[in-house]
Amino acid sequence: MLAFIIPLKSAKVSKDWQRTSALFERCLRSTCNQSHNNFRTIVVCNELPDITFQHKNVEYVTVDFLPPEKVENPIPRGLTDKGRRVLKGMMYAQKFSPTHVMTVDADDCVSSRLAGFVDQNPAANGWYLNKGWKYREGDAHIYLKRRRFYTMSGTANIVHNDYLDLPETPEYNRGYGYYKFYIDHQKVKGFMEAKGAPMQPLPFQGAVYILATGDNISGNEQNLSFNFLNRKRISNELRQEFCLGELDFSKCLPTPTLQVEH
């Protein structure tokens, strides 16, 4: 089983909570739009988002983490906050005994094929997303990143649960190792190789890195190139696979019951 972990920032540090919630809702719909039902989506947040979408495979873990500017830590504060949420989500996911976990940035979208692919390969060490899509919010086109997508997007790695080496609490109490493994997404591939458990490249584009949302944490989108040779008009098939639409969710799949865990 695949567990998606979505760390959602607090409303207290969001530039626009309504927009953050809308972007998150599209992300959540994409994780729940799987062609195979053997998955869970775990959202770690201070406040429940302002959304209408519900799904029986979604669980919310509410935390009372302080705003990142009030946390003393040598790691960049925004990433520290995100990392604590990722760790909390991974720890919570253990109740479902997942074979694999995948961290998903709260404004990205993932392929509907992921859960089924993982379910067919339960013993694999994991996969890194070598190929993926880049999308600037509002564009009619999408751009293919043909290699090293995992160095660009935080939605980039699917790791076998046995290799998580989780701490007892969602803190960086063993220093930079935890920061690098759970947050420095471009180095997960190397860490897994060092563990003697190399991951394989995912054999299809597994995610869409969403840019120009006005709410990105990394701030690196100004440095990204958009080669017209890699440009593709967004097709209905792509919209369906990634639940990728403008911030209007009426065409995505509705489903029942929200489960909230404190």
- Mean pLDDT taken over the chain: 84
Measure the CA–CA gap between 19 and 24, rounded to whole angstroms: 8
Q: Measure the CA dihedral 100/142/55/95, to 10°.
A: 10
Q: Which of 60-74, 154-168, 180-194, 235-249 is the least confident region? A: 60-74
**How do residues 211-255 score in pLDDT, each as one tens digit?**
866 555 444 554 455 667 789 999 999 999 999 976 654 444 433
* Structural domain count, the chain: 1
Which pTM was predicted?
A: 0.86
**How do residues 102-133 score in pLDDT, each as one tens digit?**
999 999 999 999 999 999 999 999 999 999 99
**How do residues 34-50 score in pLDDT, each as one tens digit?**
999 999 999 999 999 99
Where in the sequence is the domain holding 229, given as residue range(s)? 2-261
How long a stretch of residues is the chain? Answer: 262
CATH number at residue 209: 3.90.550
